Structure formats: C-alpha cells, structure tokens
Structure 1
Amino acid sequence: MAGPLAGIKIVDLSQIVSGPMATALLADQGAEVIKVESPGGDPVRTLGPRKGDRSAMFIAVNRGKQGLAIDLKTRGGRTILERLVLWADVLVENFRPGTMERLGFGAERCAELNPQLIFASITGFGPDGPYRNIRVYDPVVQAVSGIAATQVDAKGQPSLVRTLVADKVTALTAAQAITAALFHRERTGEAQRIDVAMLDAALAFNWPEGMYNHSFVEPAAPFPEYGALGRLWQAADGQVAIGMMQDVEFIALARALGREDLAADTRLHTVGGRLQYRDDWAPAFTSEIAARTMDELMEGFISEGAVGGRVNDSANVADDPQVMFNEIVVEIDHGAAGAVRAARPAARFGVTPALAGGAAPALGEHGRAVLAGLGFSAAEIAGFAGEGALVG
C-alpha cells in the first residue's frame, strides 16, 4: 500500500544531514526523491564506517532515494536541473545564502519555471543578517542557540550534546514545514518558499525547558535549571534513569524499590516537599538502586508503573525488549555492501503506512534512468555524459 506522500516528487539538492534527513523522512512516507549531487558527491559519503562510497551516516539520511550526479557548472548540468524543477513538487537545498541565485536557480527563477513548486531553503543562521556568510555546522548552532549552555559539565562549563541535535531537529522542522506547504497548496493551489534556519529550529526546540527561566518578561521566581534536576543512578550492573515529576510517580518508585515507608511519607507527596526533604529519601533511593541489577529494577518499575529505564549501550539498544517489541530496527539490503540496520519511520499510519526506504544510492547510480524518465533521449543522455555534465 502506498505511503501518505505517494505521488509527491522531490528534488533534493541538499547535503550533510539537515536537508537529506528531511527528504529521507518524506521518502519513507512515499515521496519520490531524486538526490542530486556534485561530481565529488555528498561529503557525508566518507564520514564514519563505510563500504564503497556509502557510509553508515550517508545511508541513514539518504535511503530510498534515486541518485543523480551532475555538474551544475556545465550547460548540460543546468539543463538537467531545469527539467527537474519543471518535474518536481518540492525542491530542497541547504547551500550557503546566495548560492542558488548564482547558479541561476533562485526561488524566483524556479517559481517562474514551475509556479506549483515548493522551494525549501535550509541555512545555518538564515538567508540574511550579520552571520549570513559564516559557514555552519551543528556545534556552532548548539553554541549560539543556547543548547550548549544547558549541557554544563562537572565544572559548570557549557558543553556539546554529542549528537547532531541541531541538524536533526532542523530536518524534522523542515519536513513538517514541507508537508504543511503541500497541504496549503492542495487546498488553495498556492505554492510558496520555505526558509528554515538551523538557529531558529534549535532555539525553538531548546526553549520549553532550556529557557524557562528567561520566558517571563517581568521577572518570576527562578527555578532550578531543568538539566540540574536529572541524573543517572548507579545500579549493581549498570545505570538507570528514573523520574518523579508527579506525586504518584514518586510513590510508585518508592514502592518499586521496596520502600513503603517513603511511599507513605506525606511530606514527600509534593515537588516542594521532595526538594525540601531530599536528604530523607535520595540516599535511600541511591542505596536501593545500587543493590539491584537493571533487570530487577525494570521488573519493579513495570510492576508498579514507575518512571524508569535502563541505560542501554549503543551496541545493545536494538536488544532492548521494548525496542524489539516495537520492531524499530530494520535491515535494508544494500547489495554488495550487505544488510544495513536502520530505524524504521517512527510515525505509524493506520491506512497509508510509511516504510523504511530502500538502499541509499551510489554516486550517480540512477542518472541515466532519471534522465530518461524526465524525457531526455538516449542521444541527449550520451551527450551529457560526454561533456561531463552527467557523472556515474
């Protein structure tokens, strides 16, 4: 059965993570995505463990796409891109501001070629402003957006989230914005340009808890920073995370640890009480957790409905009982590279299921087939290859 975005055609000119991950999500939901690369290929092809010209990271954010490699500095390359713009419902790019205009394919020109085109532009800091010419990667956005400031180390110094959190939340933001623009076009017939700055996406993502002490315009009583409220707890054979934001959750957790006395202590039945009398329960929780294995703790969490979970190593996340039950990790056949593990689409659709896309393309793998589908003749395709406009 076709996915919810079946029939939507996307030209993906983006590279690295933010744009490619956004279009991979849309491909999982049924869109037809053509990934357009330069002759040198997306830099992520060589980042991390790889087989051939496809790294694990590249595969994760480019699965289910057709691969086309063209040189946009050639007349033939520009001719091909023009045909792609005419074919597409959506164009996605994450070049530095002004690059698409210099190539002759800015939003206005693309709208002239195809008035129904959704033009989605992803930038680091935005298309204009004092930082527009700065090259941007995820750590820079974490720093400027305040995310790093919420990740203080033992010395109280800001540090980085050790994943591409800014890139990935930008991808999610862009994918949602594209589907919203498609929905608007469906209702009104009106296409539009979308601009998503990584800075904007990261700051909005960090705001609810990371910035809650800076939300009221008129000063309010300060509250402990959210990050200071959480920690991991040492078990006999690893670590667990627990939570007790609500009173019922504290009671359930105390019972899961065999401490009915603490569960019955009414002084601890409010957040304020738990903060005030922390020395009366925290050392006991520490001792009870340290005396139990993670399996024993999970059994208690499950039986009492408490908030808790084991800290999984990266290597054993896929073996977690709930991860296995949810069938989150799937395998995708990549031919000579063998099977590659991936996370299936997170959203489950009852009528139009989203499925993990097929293999990520080798550089230019589908070039001739894509061009034939766009209506170019065999002679024209040979000419593009001969002049270096078509690679692969």
Structure 2
Amino acid sequence: PAPASPWRLRGLTDVTRQPSVLPPLARDAPGPLAGLLVVESTNRVQGPLAGHVLGLLGADVVRLEPPGGDPLRGVPPMAGRTSARFLALNRGKRAMETDLKSGAGRRAALRLVACAHAFLHNWAPGRAAAFGLDHDDLALVRSSLVYAQAGGWAETLPPPQPMGTDYLVQAYSGVAALLAGPGEPPAPSLMTLTDVLGGLISAEGVTAALVARARTGTGVRASTALIDAARLLRSTAPAARGTPGAAVVTDLAAMAGDPAYAGAFEVTPHAVHSRAPWSFAHLKEAT
C-alpha cells in the first residue's frame, strides 16, 4: 500500500447544492475561495494544476475521473502505488469516478455541477458538446455557474487542430526558439513551461470569473489556452535578435564580459553575481 501522505485523495461524500449568492468569508477561512465548490474534469498538467491552485486558495475541488481513474495515476515516478506527479497536482481534492459517455454518468455529473460554483475542464474541442456538458447544457442546471475551459490553441489554428500539448505549443509559438542558445536549434523546455503557466492563467481566469459572477449575479464563461501562456512568455522575453543599431544581452554571463558593465559583477568559478542593482543605471549613464 502507498505510504501515509497528506497528498492522498479524500473520497467523495455528500455534496449539497450551494446558494447562487457567494457565501460570506469567515474570519478563520483557509483561503479566499473557502466555501466554494469547484468541479473539474481535467487531465495532464494544465487543468489539474489550475484546480490545485484553486484548492490552495481554499476551494473544495472535486474531480470527475473516468472508470478506472485518471491514467496519470500510474505514470512514474511513483510514490507508493500512485504517480508522484498525480499526487502533487491533485492533493487535497476529492474524486468521483463516472463514465461521461453514458447517460447515467452524465446525469451524475449534472447533479454534482448543479451544486457547484465553478466547473473546469480541458477537453479537446467538441468533446463538451459530445458529452452533453457544454456551457449551454450546464447553464440549464446552474445558471450562475462559472464555466471554465483550459484549452490548447484557442482560435489560433483552424479546425481540425492538432492535440494541444505543451511541446507542440512551445514549438509553434516560438518559445522553443527563444530557449535555444546561440547557434543551437529550437528545443522545448522539459519543464513544460506553457503547461505550468497555462494552469496558473486558467486558475486566474476562474477567480476573475468568480469576481464577475459576484458583481453581476449571472454565470460567466472563462476560456484560457496554452497558446495564451506562450504569448505571455514571448511578450516578457528579451528580444532574441536585437533591435536596429543595438545589441541585446540576455544573460548575466555575457554582461559580465562586456566592458560597459565592468565593476558591476563579481565572477566566481560557479556563478556571476550582480553587486548592486543600481550599478546598471549608473553604468549606462556613463556610456
């Protein structure tokens, strides 16, 4: 058996219908989303991470998993009999096994969503409609619901779209090229950057939608995508090839060898350290 761990999933117990008006926040609440129920049907990293962040903010997160459980449960490295990555992304959540392709499974999901404040999924385009669980379907059972989708490509590519995976999005968006060193071919980061940032953006979208719901009293739809995360990474990255008449230095090691920055760095065998952040302004004014 798996060792005792605070990351274990708790079994789903009775869930009661929540009022349309968001409940007041208690003084001893564990987070700003305490008292809110979020139902998620997600896989891989982006969606589960979004639900995890909402749980860290205090929400009660319930996962809908297919018969036999999420396949990620069995992906190494393992912590006991369960994937360590799965536990890291889903600790503190509850789970309900249901076959959304069956009438009984769909009805069970609708009963649960009718009690919720938000529903989150990262299904491929068209799957929500195929399940009978798209925005319009769920609005019939919960008109004040926040309906959130964490997608891959948004409207960037016409249908049929390729699978929206982190590595494909890094390659298509140019993030992989930004990560390559001089003379190196583009290579996506193994840290799955768009998955992680995409999960954070999705959680931010849900919280923003909850604020809008509280102010308007009506349901809100929130859509985010991995390509949004890639665009954000590119918008905040230094220009890779410089600007006309000016070279762009993107790392401390290169700056340490530039005479214009002499004296601003201390070089050790293992690292380059900036002595003082205000040194840069002084040096640039002097050049």
Q: Structure 1 residue 248 and structure 2 residue 279: aligned?
A: yes
Deviation per CA, 1:58-111: give whole Å up to 9, x if none.
111111100111111222111101101211111110010010100001111111
Greater helix content: 1
Q: Which has the higher contact order (CA 8 A, sep 6+)?
A: 1
- Shift of the alpha carbon at 1:211? 4.7
Number of residues paired by the alignment?
250
What is the match of residue 103 of structure 1?
A: 131
Q: Structure 1 residue 117 and structure 2 residue 145: aligned?
A: yes
- Shift of the alpha carbon at 1:128? 7.0
Aligned match of 1:224 in 238, 248, 259? Answer: 248
Instruction: Give me the whole-angstrom Cα distance separating, in 1, the residues matched to 2:127 and 2:285.
Output: 54
Instruction: Give me the whole-angstrom Cα distance separating, in 2, the residues matched to 1:19 and 1:111.
Output: 21
Secondary structure at the aligned position of 1:159 is classed as coil
Q: TM-score if structure 1 supplies the norm length? A: 0.58
CA separation of 1:172 and 1:247: change in aligned 2, threshold 3 A: same
Moved more, 160-169 or 222-231: 222-231
Aligned match of 1:137 in 154, 160, 165? Answer: 165
CA separation of 1:244 and 1:234: change in aligned 2, threshold 3 A: closer
Q: Structure 1 residue 84 and structure 2 residue 112: aligned?
A: yes
Aligned match of 2:284 in 271, 275, 290? Answer: 271
CA separation of 1:128 and 1:141: change in aligned 2, threshold 3 A: closer
Tell me, yes or no, if the aligned pair for 2:238 and 2:248 is still in contact at 8 Å. no
Bigger Rg over Cα:
1
What is the match of residue 7 of structure 1?
A: 35
Moved more, 124-133 or 74-83: 124-133
Deviation per CA, 1:135-191: give whole Å up to 9, x if none.
122111111122111112353322222201100101111111111110111111122
Aligned match of 1:65 in 86, 89, 93? Answer: 93
1:239-388 pair list within 5 angstroms: 239-243=270-274, 246-248=277-279, 269-271=282-284
Residue type matched to 1:163 in 2?
M
Q: Structure 1 residue 200 and structure 2 residue 231: aligned?
A: no
Q: TM-score if structure 2 supplies the norm length? A: 0.77
- Shift of the alpha carbon at 1:5? 0.6
Q: Structure 1 residue 34 and structure 2 residue 62: aligned?
A: yes
Tell me, yes or no, if the aligned pair for 1:243 and 1:249 is still in contact at 8 Å. no
Instruction: Give me the whole-angstrom Cα distance separating, in 1, the residues matched to 2:145 and 2:209.
Output: 10
CA separation of 1:189 and 1:241: change in aligned 2, threshold 3 A: farther
Residue type matched to 1:175 in 2?
A
Tell me, yes or no, if the aligned pair for 2:118 and 2:145 is still in contact at 8 Å. yes
Q: Determine what percentage of the aligned residue pairs are the same residue.
A: 30
- Shift of the alpha carbon at 1:50? 0.9
Instruction: Give me the whole-angstrom Cα distance separating, in 1, the residues matched to 2:251 and 2:123.
Output: 34
CA separation of 1:245 and 1:171: change in aligned 2, threshold 3 A: farther
Residue type matched to 1:75 in 2?
G
Tell me, yes or no, if the aligned pair for 1:147 and 1:210 is still in contact at 8 Å. no
Q: What RMSD in Å do the two structures reach over aligned CA positions?
A: 2.8
Tell me, yes or no, if the aligned pair for 1:15 and 1:94 is still in contact at 8 Å. yes
Question: Structure 2 regions of 5+ residues with no counterpart?
Answer: 1-27, 257-265
